[in-house]
Structure 1
Amino acid sequence: MTDYQADRDQCERRRLLVTGGAGFIGSNFVHYWCDRYPQDRVVVLDALTYAGNLQNLEALEGNPNFRFMEGDICDRLLIDGILKQEGISTIAHFAAESHVDRSILGPDAFVRTNVVGSFTLLEAFRQHWLKQQQPHHYRFLHVSTDEVYGSLGPADPAFTETTPYAPNSPYSASKAGSDHLARAYFHTYGMPTLITNCSNNYGAYHFPEKLIPLMCINILLGKPLPVYGDGQNVRDWLYVGDHCSALDTVLHRGQPGETYNVGGNNEVKNLDLVKTLCELMDELAPKLPVRPSRDLLTFVKDRPGHDRRYAINANKIQTELGWTSSVTLTQGLRLTVEWYLQHQDWWQPLLSPEYQAYYNKVYHG
């Protein structure tokens, strides 16, 4: 983890607006930032859709430099008011509809939030930035995904920042659109935007629909472990704490207008990942309904347009900004499994009737 506190002693404190800060990556980033830069003001804006959870931020209640606001990033009047009232100098933009399966079932919400919402934030921040006496201190960090680059073959080189965009799902297409807008605001208006494209994150506070928490929870409940297709799809996995430190590095050292790929250098097939989770759960959870938990593995019909492989080349952020990941996949998966075992009171309420209906539609529909 990188800490720039010593470099900032003589600087005015940052005033951050974190959109989507009650979600998975956003809440981890909020905790990371508040721990390392306690003098900074952090304002979280979150619409509290199904994946936003105020429990993720409970530990910050009472912190005088922290404020939570419920609201929609498409609400321009709300955004304008926050930027002015709080004197925001930095936006860290995480808010997004992010689950591919949900984008296949209902793409309209993805276009509204990921494209229209990102545009609303960019335009509001541009007007705010233009009024400032020292606008060079301002930053707009747009947090995106490697999925905008499309799918790789087994022997293809990993994605770089110059890989052409080729999104294959409504989710990745909507994120590609927001990336293009953020880039355009730098090149057209000179607004200090930064874009990061990350590989698959994992860690604490991850909503149960995503692969790793889904498998952990289903093992604990003795439910089938649904694996799409043949399970040979490959993903690069990035521990969320490493991602937060990368974003810290980009905000402090990144050059406005640039894009930085953030990866964990941990390529693994989905089926192998699930088998590893089974082994960890067998080791760490003494009273499983089914043991060995690998017996719960179930292959299901593949997702439409399922990308075969993602891989991130993170050389640019390593060589230009000095960031490298520090948590191996072995370490990160153990930490993550332990977290889900210790926080059943966090995830059990999320298994709502709405979630069960969605789950059945995706895996049994």
Structure 2
Amino acid sequence: MLSRWTAHGRGVPNLVVARRVINKMVAAAQRFAEDETGEAMVGLVVPGTHTNGVPTLYVLDTISPDETAVRQMHTFQQGDERQDELIWWLQENWRVHREHERQTGNAPGKWDVPLRYLGDWHKQPGHMIQPSSGDLMTALDWIDDPDNGMDFLLAPIVTLDHYPTTLIGDATVNFVTVPQGDGLNARIDFWYIDRETRLFLPVTPAVYPDDQLPSLVAYPWHLLNEARFSEESARLTSGDRFATLVLWEADDAPPLEICFLIARVGADRVLLVVTPWNYPHAAPWARVAPYVAIGENDDVYRIFEQLWQQSEPVEPPEGWQWNDSMYLIDFVRALEEKLGLAETKGGEADQPPHEEASHELGQS
């Protein structure tokens, strides 16, 4: 039997995990069955106002690293910019959602707390169901670093190929099992550590159906398809154009839109091009605003807000239609032709440069 109180006199939190998170953990572990793997978890920390002072962790999503993650038999290393950007995307959309709830008079109740990083889960070889000494040192380094702003970590361990386990009576355990489809089970053991205990403690999970917990927005195209984003960026910035990316609430509904502020040398107006999260399958749209100079140290979001307030919607020429084989530059050129935006003497390059553009291009 597990106790919610340790020998140190400090309790572990309540833990609730969305069913979708359990399913994603097992699927990822089976995908890399021969190697260690893992993902970052995000969710909510709800104070214990109605749970006898014991806070509750709600795990709502788990985010995989990109292809640069090191996965080997006894080694796994993650933590890349794409993963950080996905976490930030979810956090920013959750923040906007909470603001909407307050402004519309809805009572968000216990969910009105920030979305935050909760820790990483990882798969271990064989039936190693406890964190290793290396895991302990890594966790302590993380929670001791003030730059991380974390005083705890959740650290589930996933292992595969367990024979079915039968629990007797109301036994309380810190793991859940999931059938693998071959007569064996995947097992997820949940562990918790904080700055005071400095030890991994077992924590009992409660798995909730997805519809009983808040849902998060879908991931955006520019983070899911980095090759497409690089190509779009290269095409937009070829010739005499400047482009920067801004995440903006363009249609008063979640999720945020991925927007581009696009200007040409010598033009008296700028384009604000809006792409939905599932671009290019969903068409872009645009607004046009008066040109303003942008200094190197200017706040792009403040300038974008100013331009948005001064902008007007603009439609492409009559008969022009979007399809998902196009690029944003095709849409932009159609708008520029309609609006009569000036082209510099040297013209523009029809072919994009063959150099990789980065997300830094737009997220200044």
TM range (shorter): under 0.3
Larger Rg: 2
More strand by share: 2
Which protein has greater RCO, CA pairs closer than 8 Å, 6+ apart? 1
TM-score, with structure 1 as normaliser: 0.23
More helix by share: 1
TM-score, with structure 2 as normaliser: 0.23
